[in-house]
Chains A and B, each alone.
Chain A
Amino acid sequence: MEASAAPATSTESGLTGAAAPLLALRDIDKTFGITHALSRASLTIAPGEVVGLVGPNGAGKSTLIKTITGVLEPTAGTIVVNGRDVQQISHREVAELGISCAYQDLSLCTNLAIYENFALLNMDHKLWAPVGWRKRQRTEVSALLERFFPGNSIDASQPVSTLTLAERQMVEICKALMKEDLGLLILDEPTSALSANRADQLHDAVREISQAGVAVIYISHKLDEIQKVCDRIVLLKNGSNAGEYNPRDISAADLVGIMGGDARVRERHDSFSAEVGPALVVAKSLSSEGLSDVNVTAHAGEIVGVAGLVGSGQTTLLKAIFAAGKRRRPGLQVNGKVAYLSGDRAGEGVFGLWSILDNMLVSSLRSVTRFGLLDQSASRQLAQHWFDRLRFRAESVDSPITSLSGGNQQKALIARGLASGADILLLNDPTAGVDIETKQDIYALLAGAKEAGKAVVLHSTEDSEMEICDRVYVMREGCVTAELAGAEVTVQNVVRASFSDVDRVTGREKSSTPLLGRVLRSRLLLPIAAMVIIYALNAIVNPNVLSLGSTRLLLNTAVPLVFAALGQMFIVTAGDIDMGNGYSIGLANVLVAVVLSQNLVVGIVSLLLLVAGYAAMGALIHLRQLPAIVVTLGAQFIWLGIALIIAPVPGGMSPKWLGRFYTSSFLFVPMPALLCIVAAAVTWFIIFRWKYGMVLRGIGNNRNAIERSGWSYVGGKMANYALAGVMVAFAGLTFTAVTYAADVNTSATFCMLSIATVIVGGCEMAGGVVEPVGVVAAGVAMSLITSLLIFIQVDSNLQVAVTGMIIILVLAARMLTNKKAVVAA
């Protein structure tokens, strides 16, 4: 890892002045509409330097990092890379500088093994890699993890979903560290989930790589860490530089003082004279996930602030209060109607298909209902009242909500809360992305609500907003660390309390699970057990089953279902579902019996066209964002139509070679059994061993992670669909071998049955988590049930019942053994 050898044309040298800067950002401006995220911010980084980036909420740290990683283009300012001026940092500069970032939101595919997440990023995009690449990757990743975090118990072959949050963070950091030609490492709050011990290990690693010449930008709210590990501290405030410091010359307390100083002190609306009413919200020693021992009260007629660094439990507290308003819970008493107003308007607030009127009234429908019906004129009157009062910038109450600016949408949401007649207003960062004028309107509205005797609980990521509050609770890592009242409510005090120390989280790292536990939790257990048990039951009822000939008979009918289910599985891998495979298998059946039996070449080409049709369907679904369930339903008419054109009446015949092949044996193993084994092995290889299998599974789990590592999403989707098409062709082929003829209608039942088989086989309908071997076993099991019922002379109609019961039992069993799996689905 060579330090940059570029000619130092720039006269600028960082504060350290030791080396020519690797990267220099000067006077960077970045505006989003009317919001100034950065104004004349500068940052210079030299090779081998560790820069600590600190600042209060909303200082512009994230925006600056996004500029460095090339996600954002600055509105103004100059960027110098190795002495060369550039407009924006592009892929080229990222590669040239070797920039790598450990994201706070963890860019991992949780269904893939840990080493596969690394491999997605650092392997080329050829479809094949030399044999043994998995082993090499695994050892490399294990070595990497062991090198930077000695003593961890992470098994690199396990999927990311089995890791604790702390372990995931370690993996994410190592993924960033692993980059070839690493020149600049960005760590964004890297220790938020790590224990002190692990954090120390990270700091050692940072020192080690910086000695090797790698520059590091270290962002953290934990000032003691910053002081320990950094060569230089850059302080950002309100999007501008607020000084650079040597960590040895400045104390944490001083830093905090500078961060909180000279904030834009807002005019207080009135003094805190108002007599407060009864307590409407009382939390006593409230503890839950994300909260510990929280004591909070909010009275009628006051504005209570909830402050602290982002993600200290403020949102959790607000949501807990909201939930307690609906259903009582111990430790949290809520007296009155609660309204929750979120600053995450798209995710938690706005109904995008609706007008302003509908959005404002959705929480107060009862008040405009007469005789069970909505009164149009009353609705209009109520909406118009709030529309006029809040001075919207919009044509009328009938304008779509999406035509409003963010700030005006927020006003509509506040109107929704006020109109609902709630006694308690919970506001979660309501001014996020709102312009200054509208912010003032919102403050006025809150003051009005306070005077009307409502309890207002306000969480904001802008510390200065806390000054409109009568009292402020400051939170830190799920605890309330300070309560400020009256004149104490100042930005300085809020910032100071935000950075206060609390006991470190003790990062949980679990021990490895015993073998028995792993077997019990395996997705394969159920389908394989079902297959074995049903086969055993068959044998008990009819001992002849144990002979090879009978096994062949039993398995004969299982093979088409196995392939049908495997086809369904590939589509489920992509997170979709195929409702049309009943008829596409019927079409394949017709193609084999009518076309292939006459002419081998034409037959094969026609089957390949069917596969291409599936791939095209995948592309169509992606490109037009159509729901897969509907497109595949529509497509089945097309399959059916083509099949009927080729074979208007049942007929055709099974090619002779196919019949001979299907009835042959290999080393005494009957061909159907062999086919099941081969199908299981090949699809298992494709899904879990083939290099591209990582992408096939990845696209069903985390589209962003796949695209961030440079793979094509639509390519993966089409590949999944094409593989499904191949399985459909095989299902048609084997079905013909069983039925000796073509009839498009007999295979229609495969659709529902294949979905059921996929579920029993241990796959998640949500995508990405599939189990080919389980699917094959489940397919055999499903098919054996029929023969079992025949042997014990039960009406074969009951097979349907048994199928239904099995699905329900499987889901119930999975609920018990692994609750998460079902929830995730």
Chain B
Amino acid sequence: MKRMVDFVQKHPAVWPVLGCLIFLAMIGGLTGSLDPTVLFTAARLATFAALLGLAQMIVVTSGDGAIDLSQVYVLTLCAYASTTLMDVNPILGFVVAVLIGGLAGLVNGLVNIYLRIPAMVTTLATGYLYFTVILIGSSHMKVLPHPEFVNLITGGVGPISTQTIVVIGVALLLALVLYRTPYGKQLHAVGQNRNAAYLAGIPTNRVVIVAFVVGGLLSGLAGVIAAAVMGGAFQDMGMSYFLPSVAATFVGGTAASGGRSSVLGVAFGALMMTLMSSFLNTAESMFDLVSGIKQLIMGAFLVSILFVSVAGVKRRRSQAGSATTPAVMASNEGL
């Protein structure tokens, strides 16, 4: 029993994987057959929640209560950039559109670190700024995506969508960076204890800023794909992904206090949110459910899975207290 508890604590991905299986079985139970296309469709629909969730995970893992509220605006901004720029040159346009996401992340990181404004407030403010750019610029931009890119991204290999392949690729790359490179180790160290990381010789500022940049790049990628999949860019396109992506981040085992991440967990967390949604949709159409039950179950399920899975990671308050920046740290003595 204790070994099981240890295993679950070490591998937070267990919860979302389990959740995916349960929802798959329940959908099977409802429809009476286990149709594999359900899984492939859900995986395709989970693309944006997965990409944004992974982006959020990296930012949250940098610790200090960081969270990126500007994600959905970055997504929309990059979607517009891609439709406009890919019209000129598909490949260059794609690259530049994604890089714009990285640039937005860089701005977030710089403001957060050098103006010492908490990440949440920073990204709230910059999110408004990016949205402004969208509002002003959208009337001058092309809206329709590049047709060949649309064909590519909505196609697939057999039953597996190109989008799913992209997500898997991104997840593998991210897992490599987070768990097999010095940067990954440093990010997790900074997230656990910024003070200790600074004193261990880690360039904490740079590590945090890079986390924001990577987060921005992934949001940008999500935006470019979203524009192609949805047949064009529009002003509110990102809004509906905010909730599922944040939910995926935390259900997937990311510690809100930072320092612990799980690429596998977040990817499956996104899939689980999508499967839950399609299960409830199926149930709704079959049993003529009262509308709203769907959201209620979703909310209750989300809170209870947090209740179960976050247990054992109790460090948030003390972290907030010791979040002194290196510059003022030296003067802590002598009181």
Contacts and interface: CB of A to CB of B under 8 A. Distances in A.
Chain B associates with chain A = yes
Interface of A: 104-106, 165, 193, 288-290, 311-316, 319-320, 322-323, 326, 338-340, 342, 347-354, 358, 361-363, 365-366, 369, 372-374, 416, 420, 478, 575, 577, 620, 624-627, 629-631, 633-646, 648, 703, 752, 755-756, 759, 765-766, 795, 797-798, 800-801, 803-805, 807-808, 811-812, 815, 822-823, 825
A352 B115 contact: no
A290 B202 CA distance: 25
Contact of A822 (B116, B302, B315): B116
B151 interface: no
B21 to A, nearest CB: 22
Contacts, number: 243
Given A290-B334, A822-B115, A822-B117, A625 B316 contact: yes
B335 A804 contact: no
A638 B328 CA distance: 42
A808 B125 contact: yes
B201 A339 contact: yes
A342 B199 contact: yes
B299 A638 contact: yes
B299 A626 contact: no
Interface residues of B, number: 78
Given A354-B192, A630-B306, 9 more contacts: A165-B335, A193-B335, A339-B201, A351-B193, A626-B306, A626-B307, A627-B257, A804-B125, A825-B117
A358 B69 CA distance: 31
3 residue pairs, one from A and one from B, having the closest CB atoms: A804-B128, A637-B299, A644-B292
Contact of B125 (A416, A642, A807): A807
B199 A637 contact: no
Contact of B196 (A320, A348, A373, A755): A348
17 contacts: A316-B333, A340-B199, A354-B192, A374-B182, A631-B303, A634-B303, A638-B303, A641-B292, A641-B293, A641-B296, A645-B291, A752-B127, A759-B124, A801-B129, A801-B131, A807-B128, A811-B115
A288 B331 CA distance: 9
Given A352-B315, A365-B186, A804-B129, A288 B330 contact: yes
B334 A313 contact: yes
Nearest to B257: A627
A105 B335 contact: yes
A316 B332 CA distance: 8
Contacts of B222: none
A320 B330 contact: yes
B330 A752 contact: no
B86 to A, nearest CB: 25
B135 A798 contact: yes
B181 A703 contact: no
Contacts of A289: 330-331
Given A348-B199, A634-B303, A290 B291 contact: no
Nearest to B290: A645
Nearest to B307: A624
Nearest to B203: A326
Interface of B: 65, 67, 69, 115-118, 120-121, 124-129, 131-132, 135-136, 176, 180-182, 185-186, 188-189, 192-193, 195-197, 199-202, 243, 246-247, 250, 255-257, 259-260, 290-300, 302-303, 306-307, 310-311, 314-317, 320, 322, 325-326, 328-335
Q: Per DSSP, are chain A's interface residues mostly helix, strand or loop, or mixed?
A: helix
A316 B330 contact: yes
B316 A756 contact: no
B132 to A, nearest CB: 3
Greatest chain A CB density within 10 A among B124, B125, B260, B307 is at B125
A728 B320 CA distance: 27
B242 to A, nearest CB: 9
Contact of A347 (B182, B196, B202, B314): B196
A365 B182 contact: yes
Contact of B121 (A361, A366, A825): A825
Nearest to A823: B116
Given A648-B292, A822-B115, A311 B334 contact: yes
A635 B131 contact: no
Nearest to A375: B180
Contacts of A319: 329-330
B176 A765 contact: no
A294 to B, nearest CB: 13
A326 B200 CA distance: 12
